[in-house]
Amino acid sequence: MAELHDLTALEQGDLLARGEISSLELTEHYLERADRLDDVGAFVRLTPEVARDQARAADRRRVDGRRAGPLDGVPTAVKDLNLTAGVPTTFGSAAFADHVPEVSDGVVLALEAAGLPMIGKTSTPELGSPCYTEPEGAPAAVTPWDRTRMAGGSSGGAAAATAAGLVPLAQGSDGGGSIRIPASCCGLVGLKPSRGRISGFPLYGDPAGLATAGSIARTVRDTAALLEVMAGHRVGDPSWAPPPSESLVAACDRDPGRLRIARFSTPVITPPTTDSPGAPVDDEVLLAYERASRLLEDLGHEVVDVPVPLPPEAVPVFETCWSVLTAMSPVPPERRHLLRPLTRWLSERGHAVSGPEFGAAIGAMRRFAAQAIVALDPYDAVLTPTLAQPPLPVGAIRDDADPARDFENQKAFTPWTSAWNVTGLPAISLPLHWTPGPTPLPVGVMLAGRPAGEEALLALAAQVESAAPWHDRRPPRW
């Protein structure tokens, strides 16, 4: 007989809808697992009383016939970057150790409105910047497939929690790959939606338009269901994607048709040297990419090799925007000494950029994005690897003594993900491959879609999952 955590989030929602289990029972199940089994660095804090109150409210709605949707009563978790009223939100930084927001952001409000009890706040690196999750004063987030190896970042805690069965699905955020990187490291589905699909209310803290919230889950349909909860714009949003023509979950159940799919494996970011972790591209990564290409062809799609759609000149432009965004973080001057070396180094780079230079960088990034979207317009989707390597050992990328080297190491490990933040196109990492040997490691492949094209992208991703299912794979200690 299947355990509750063996079921998908939507299957758990069905049990709740039929009254076969209460949300409080389901929430207690996950609270117990999170308290007992979190040896993966998933949570910075559990919020049991908040979760129980929200679960009781979900149970009352069911009895009254007022369920808020298919995930009402299904537990989740919130990343430590997201403002959560009355709950410490530290942004992964000692500089914000005593920060308790008075308001929740749009993502948290959407999760609450859809009835998902929050069992805790998930770990993130400082200010969500690095592609690994190794926060000061807390355990590193690791992949449950090998607890000596990284879960990725910056949504590493969310991915570790989901992959270890501590929650059925979790929200993350992604400014340069921060959902898709941990999804690949943890053997999960990770979706970065289109720019403007999810509101950035109330902070609107990214004038470059790189970052967005998104969803992490074990199946494509669960990923779509969580995106459906968070999607939508608020009055005052600077940009928004047009609403989908159908339910995103329903899109997973339709035939995508025969598609033209572009592919490239040449890194968008080429490291200056080959001694960084992640360079060159691992053979298992290329094998996963080739197998995914053949699978897509077997499904009837046309797969076409294309050149890298972004030029090398786009990389320093992205770096300029990234460093300015780091410098914009409201760290009190008297607490700057608490920041990690990488954060201080990036912030100093950002402060050295003048206002006109930043404006010019945003303009250049928009032009590079437009050129890439035009070049890819003949295609319905784009296939690339997600990462250059399987999950690396904890500490392999981090270099506090040389933050510049740390940053180069990150670029070598993640040479494709930021392209889709620059363009604003939706992109999804799928766990299609595991390395051989006694300790198999997950290797993701990535599909990107057309502008605001989540429906078609999810239909394709669900077709791939149906042809090569992964949901029944279980990491050690499941």
pLDDT of 278 above 90: no
pLDDT computed for residue 136 by the predictor: 87
Distance CA 122, CA 46 (A): 9
Structural domain for 214, as ranges: 7-467
Task: Determine, yes or no, domain membership for 107.
Answer: yes
Distance CA 337, CA 332 (A): 10
Task: Determine, yes or no, domain membership for 472.
Answer: no
Q: Name the nearest CA neighbour of 278 among 397, 185, 366.
A: 397
Q: How far is CA 176 from CA 40, 245, 414, 464, in A?
A: 23, 28, 9, 24
pLDDT of 393 above 70: yes
Task: Determine, yes or no, domain membership for 476.
Answer: no
Angle between helices 220-230 and 106-113 (to 10 degrees): 110
* Structural domains counted in the chain: 1
Catalytic residue IDs: 79, 154, 178
Task: Determine, yes or no, domain membership for 114.
Answer: yes
- Taking residues 36-59, what's their average pLDDT? 98
DSSP string covering 64-107, please? TT---STTTT--EEEETTS--TTS---TT-GGGTT---SS--HH
Task: Determine, yes or no, domain membership for 122.
Answer: yes
CATH code, domain with 453: 3.90.1300.10
DSSP state of 115: T
Task: Determine, yes or no, domain membership for 478.
Answer: no
Residue with tokens 């797969």: 303
pLDDT computed for residue 1 by the predictor: 58
pLDDT of 104 above 70: yes
Q: How far is CA 137 from CA 93, 126, 438, 453, in A?
A: 9, 11, 32, 40
Distance CA 81, CA 385 (A): 27
pLDDT computed for residue 2 by the predictor: 84
Cα 41 to its chain centre, rounded Å, is 16
Length of the chain: 478
For the stretch 139-166, pLDDT in tens is 999 999 999 999 999 999 999 999 999 9
Task: Determine, yes or no, domain membership for 412.
Answer: yes
Task: Determine, yes or no, domain membership for 477.
Answer: no
pLDDT computed for residue 274 by the predictor: 63
Least confident of 83-87, 277-281, 304-308, 356-360: 277-281
Calculate what percentage of the chain has a pLDDT beyond 70: 99
For the stretch 434-478, pLDDT in tens is 999 999 999 999 999 999 999 999 999 999 999 999 999 999 999
